[in-house]
Amino acid sequence: MKTKLFRLYENYMIVVGSLSSMVFYLQAYKIYIYQSANDVSLLAFSFGLISVMSWLFYGITLKNKALIASNILAVIGALLAVSCILIYS
């Protein structure tokens, strides 16, 4: 049985996890605006994508709302960033 404090903390982690995925969106936006990914590492963002996909699958396995919600946003952002790197390199 989840306590009220646990549910509050879980909601807090959904917000924190979602905000931390902004790094992917910000990089994709910058690449798109400047139409260049020359100084961006495809390898690093590919590892980031693999990492957040792993966390998403782990969250699904645990049926953990915080992990699932925040990592869905992160996977989408990472896919955007990797796509922009591939397009504008």
Average pLDDT of span 32-58 = 96
Please tell me the predicted confidence (pLDDT) of residue 75.
97
Measured between alpha carbons, how far is 78 from 11 in angstroms, rounded to an integer?
A: 22
The domain tally of the chain equals 1
The CATH number for 29's domain is: 1.20.1280.290
Q: Who has greater pLDDT, 84 or 69?
A: 84
Q: Is residue 54 part of a domain?
A: yes
Q: Is residue 51 part of a domain?
A: yes
What is the domain extent for residue 75? 15-88
Q: Is residue 71 part of a domain?
A: yes
The yes-or-no verdict on residue 41 having pLDDT over 80 is yes
Chain mean position to CA 47: 12
Q: Is residue 24 part of a domain?
A: yes
Whether this model's pTM surpasses 0.85: yes
The yes-or-no verdict on residue 1 having pLDDT over 80 is no
